[in-house]
Structure 1
Amino acid sequence: MTIFQVKVKPNSKQQSMETEADGSLKICLKSPPVDGKANQELIQLLAKKFNVKKSEVTIKSGLYSRNKLIEIYQPET
């Protein structure tokens, strides 16, 4: 299980992901922060990046905030 900090910028022109100096991720999303669309795009993007199922990515805190705490369950191999 991995837990990390994410800073989200919705309504961006391009989708991008970069690592900040403090170790958190800065993610730009195309979706607007309406009806959970940006959160759905975030979960989909992180699942693809970490090669896990979308159900294994959880927003632990910050559901309605730009600063989020993300938990990714990665099964032991």
Structure 2
Amino acid sequence: MTLTLHIQPGAKHTEIAGLHGDALKIRLAAPPVDGKANAALLAFLADRFGVPVRQVTLKTGETSRRKVVAIEGSPHSPESLLAH
């Protein structure tokens, strides 16, 4: 599955903040320095979708707040993220 995300790095807590236009908004506690926010995002999504981090890949947006992420083999749907 592919997700379009809007990321807010440097937040107090890592959490899903709902929708931001056509993207899922995620607040990350990690700073946007040296790829730390991207690594934290991939780990957070892997945990939420119940897959290993290697199955979550950043497709676009390495240096942007708007990102596209691919997740392979998850038993969960994107809608399940909003239910937590």
| TM-score normalised per structure 1 | 0.88
1:15 corresponds to 2:14: yes
| Counterpart mapping for 1:52-63 below 5 A | 52-63=51-62
Which runs of no fewer than 5 residues in structure 1 stay unpaired?
none
Summarize deviations over 1:2-51 as a string: whole Å, max 9, x none.
01100000000111103316552110001111010000000000000000
More helix by share: 2
Which runs of no fewer than 5 residues in structure 2 stay unpaired?
76-84
For 1:9 and 1:49, locate their aligned partners in 2 and report how far apart those are by CA, in whole Å: 18
Q: Aligned-pair distance for 1:62?
A: 0.3
Aligned residues: 75
Structure 1 stretches (4+) deviating beyond 6 angstroms? none
Q: Secondary structure at the match of 1:14?
A: coil
- Tell me whether 21-30 or 53-62 shows the greater mean CA deviation: 21-30
For 1:46 and 1:23, locate their aligned partners in 2 and report how far apart those are by CA, in whole Å: 18
- Relative to structure 1, the CA distance from residue 56 to residue 9 in structure 2 (aligned partners, 3 Å threshold; closer, same or farther) is same
RMSD: 1.7
- Relative to structure 1, the CA distance from residue 10 to residue 60 in structure 2 (aligned partners, 3 Å threshold; closer, same or farther) is same
